[in-house]
């Protein structure tokens, strides 16, 4: 705000979610969905900053060492003149004072009076009990097979494995199907419950290979459908096909549709995610941390 | 009538403050340790001061690809990574 009149341009680059499930947000599968996240960020923060979206293979994020909140100051020739792994509004102001000059009466965050909107509400949550993931579980590589679905991925797979699974090929795998709040949909509990089925090559044993999710009496809910599976493979890194069927309705009740979707899951660690968290029914973070975990730092207006 | 034991209550307050301080320092140390690998990755991967921005195209909010070297060419610019969570 203070430096825009002096010609400084600010860009916020949207990257993979640092804390999936926080406020019920789930990781987007397509660039269109990442752009929907940007729309949501604009709605919630009321900020006029220019937003950009990293590519779905996260080129910019990788070029920054996959840090969640890095900051660069670049001169008119495109040369980096200041850098930090973690954005710091106070340090950034010092940088800009050095390169562009001080401003009279610097604006404080409290001066901005930006309207902070709440996250998207969902239908009832907290109806289906959450599955406790084994300690130390880490994200697994998944690839939605887009061409197998006629509809958006209203429910998105989150897969995690225990460290020994990645190391030895034997361990516990978590799979959870999380409704994407940006589509404003819920499970249609008047229809059959969610079902998954795994098809794997010889040498890959996953049990149970088929499963049916919770089917509460309430007509609608938005709790994830979660499962713990035991995996035993000849060697880590092999993949398998995961098919899921469910029934979804939009919250405005303009449609209810049967959905069938598929994923290719690779029994390998997805290193594009740094965090593994659990959330409470209201979408807040469960503060019970696991080894190696730090403190979540959601996006805020100070940047 | 019981006489308040001021010495004992002062000791309890001091002990409570000490425990609080240790918990605060401990949580900050754990936080710093968790951040350390990220800081190291940034140091070794991100462009150094004096280097050009990487030659990378990303999307504007309409989905068009734009090269980050071509953003606000005439001006200083600030690039910050972030997300909703």
B55 interfaces chain A, CB cutoff of 8 Å: no
Asked whether the predicted pLDDT for residue A294 surpasses 60, the reply is no
What pLDDT shows up at residue B22?
63
- Burial class (CB within 10 angstroms; exposed 0-12, middle 13-18, buried 19+) of A243: middle
Asked whether the predicted pLDDT for residue A255 surpasses 70, the reply is yes
d(CA A76, CA A101): 15
**pLDDT category, A116, cuts 50, 70, 90?**
confident
Q: How far is A186 from chain B (nearest CA, A)?
A: 21
Q: For residue A8, how far is the Cα from the chain centroid?
A: 30
What pLDDT shows up at residue A61?
92
| ipTM of the shown complex | 0.79
Pick the range with the lowest mean pLDDT from A78-82, A115-119, A149-153, B24-28. Answer: B24-28
Pick the range with the lowest mean pLDDT from A106-120, A147-161, A207-221, B12-26. Answer: B12-26
Pick the range with the lowest mean pLDDT from A97-106, A262-271, B44-53. Answer: A97-106
The residue of chain A with its CA nearest to that of B40 is: A65
B38 interfaces chain A, CB cutoff of 8 Å: yes
The stretch A12-19 carries a mean pLDDT of 87
B75 to chain A: which residues are within 8 Å by CB? 7-9, 76
Q: For the segment A164-217, what is each residue's pLDDT rounded down to a tens digit?
A: 999 999 999 999 999 999 999 999 999 999 999 999 998 999 999 999 999 999
B57 interfaces chain A, CB cutoff of 8 Å: yes
Q: How far is A222 from chain B (nearest CA, A)?
A: 19
Q: For residue A65, how far is the Cα from the chain centroid?
A: 18
**pLDDT category, A6, cuts 50, 70, 90?**
confident
Residues of chain A within CATH 2.60.40 domain(s) are 138-269
Do residues B51 and A79 lie in contact, with contact meaning Cβ atoms separated by under 8 Å? yes
A240 interfaces chain B, CB cutoff of 8 Å: no
Q: Looking at the partner chain, which of B35, B39, B59 has a beta carbon nearest the beta carbon of A31?
A: B59
Q: How far is B14 from chain A (nearest CA, A)?
A: 28
Architecture of the CATH domain A138-269 = Sandwich (2.60)
Q: How far is A124 from chain B (nearest CA, A)?
A: 21
Give the highest mean pLDDT range of A155-169, A269-283, B21-35. Answer: A155-169
pLDDT by residue for chain B (85 residues), tens only, comes to: 455 566 666 777 777 777 666 666 555 566 566 678 888 889 999 999 999 999 999 999 899 999 999 887 789 999 999 888 7
What pLDDT shows up at residue B55?
93
What pLDDT shows up at residue A106?
81
Mapping DSSP onto H, E and C, the string for A153-216 reads CCEEEEEEECHHHHHHCEEEEEEEEEECHHHCEEEECCCCCCEEEEEECCCEEEECCEEECCCC
Q: Is B63 left (phi over 0), alpha (psi -120 to 50) or beta?
A: left
Q: For the segment A20-59, what is each residue's pLDDT rounded down to a tens digit?
A: 788 888 989 999 999 999 999 888 887 778 999 999 999 9
Report CB contact under 8 Å: A14, B83. yes
Report CB contact under 8 Å: A76, B82. no
**Other CB atoms within 10 A of residue A143 CB:** 13
Report CB contact under 8 Å: B38, A299. no
Report CB contact under 8 Å: A13, B79. yes
Asked whether the predicted pLDDT for residue A286 surpasses 70, the reply is no
The stretch A88-108 carries a mean pLDDT of 89
B46 to chain A: which residues are within 8 Å by CB? 63-65, 67, 70, 72, 83, 85
d(CA A176, CA A26): 11
Number of H helices and number of E strands within chain A?
Answer: 5, 15
Q: Looking at the partner chain, which of B52, B59, B81 has a beta carbon nearest the beta carbon of A78?
A: B52
Contacting A residues, span 252-291, partner chain B, CB-CB under 8 Å? 274
What pLDDT shows up at residue A246?
97
Q: What is the overall mean pLDDT for chain A?
A: 86
Contacting A residues, span 80-109, partner chain B, CB-CB under 8 Å? 80-83, 85-87, 92, 96, 99-100
Contacting A residues, span 19-58, partner chain B, CB-CB under 8 Å? 19-23, 25, 31-32, 34-35, 37-41, 44, 50-55
DSSP secondary structure, A5-45, as one string: TTT-EEEEEE-S-SSTTGGG----SSHHHHHHHHHHHHHHH
Do residues A142 and A262 lie in contact, with contact meaning Cβ atoms separated by under 8 Å? no
Q: For the segment A121-142, what is each residue's pLDDT rounded down to a tens digit?
A: 777 788 999 999 898 999 999 9
A18 interfaces chain B, CB cutoff of 8 Å: yes
The residue of chain B with its CA nearest to that of A303 is: B80
Asked whether the predicted pLDDT for residue A281 surpasses 70, the reply is no
Pick the range with the lowest mean pLDDT from A57-71, A79-93, A105-119. Answer: A105-119
What pLDDT shows up at residue A104?
84
């Amino acid at each position: 705000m203070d430096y825009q009149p002096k010609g400084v341009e600010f860009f916020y680059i949207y990257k993979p979610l640092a804390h999936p499930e926080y406020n019920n947000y789930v990781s987007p599968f397509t660039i269109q969905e990442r752009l929907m996240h940007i729309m949501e960020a604009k709605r919630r923060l009321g900020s006029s900053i220019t937003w950009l979206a990293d590519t779905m293979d996260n080129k910019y994020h990788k070029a920054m060492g996959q840090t969640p909140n890095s900051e660069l100051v670049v001169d008119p020739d495109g040369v980096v003149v200041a850098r930090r792994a973690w954005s710091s509004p106070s340090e950034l102001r010092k940088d800009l004072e050095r390169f562009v000059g001080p401003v009279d009466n610097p604006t404080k965050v409290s001066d901005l009076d930006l309207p902070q909107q709440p996250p998207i509400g969902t239908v009832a949550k907290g109806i289906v009990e959450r599955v406790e993931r084994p300690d130390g579980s880490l994200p697994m590589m998944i690839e939605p097979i887009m061409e197998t679905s006629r509809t958006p991925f209203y429910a998105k797979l989150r897969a995690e494995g225990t460290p020994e699974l990645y190391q030895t090929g034997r361990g516990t795998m978590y799979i959870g199907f999380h409704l994407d709040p940006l589509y404003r949909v819920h499970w249609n509990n008047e229809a059959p419950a969610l079902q998954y089925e795994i098809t794997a090559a010889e040498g890959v044993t996953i049990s149970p290979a088929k499963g049916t999710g919770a089917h509460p009496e309430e007509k609608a809910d938005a709790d994830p459908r979660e499962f713990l599976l035991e995996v035993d493979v000849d060697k880590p890194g092999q993949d398998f096909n995961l098919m899921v069927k469910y029934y979804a309705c939009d919250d405005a009740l303009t449609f209810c549709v049967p959905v069938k979707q598929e994923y290719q899951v690779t029994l390998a660690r997805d290193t594009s995610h740094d965090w593994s968290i659990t959330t409470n029914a209201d979408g807040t973070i469960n503060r019970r941390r696991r080894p190696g975990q730090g403190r979540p730092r959601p996006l805020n207006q100070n940047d | 009538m019981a006489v308040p034991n001021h010495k004992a209550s002062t000791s309890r307050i001091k002990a409570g403050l000490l425990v609080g301080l240790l918990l605060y320092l401990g949580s900050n140390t754990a936080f710093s340790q968790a951040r350390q690998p990220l800081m190291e990755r940034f140091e070794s991967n991100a462009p150094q001061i004096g280097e050009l921005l990487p030659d990378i195209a990303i999307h504007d909010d309409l989905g068009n690809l734009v090269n980050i070297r071509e953003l606000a060419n005439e001006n200083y610019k600030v690039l910050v990574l972030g997300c909703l969570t």
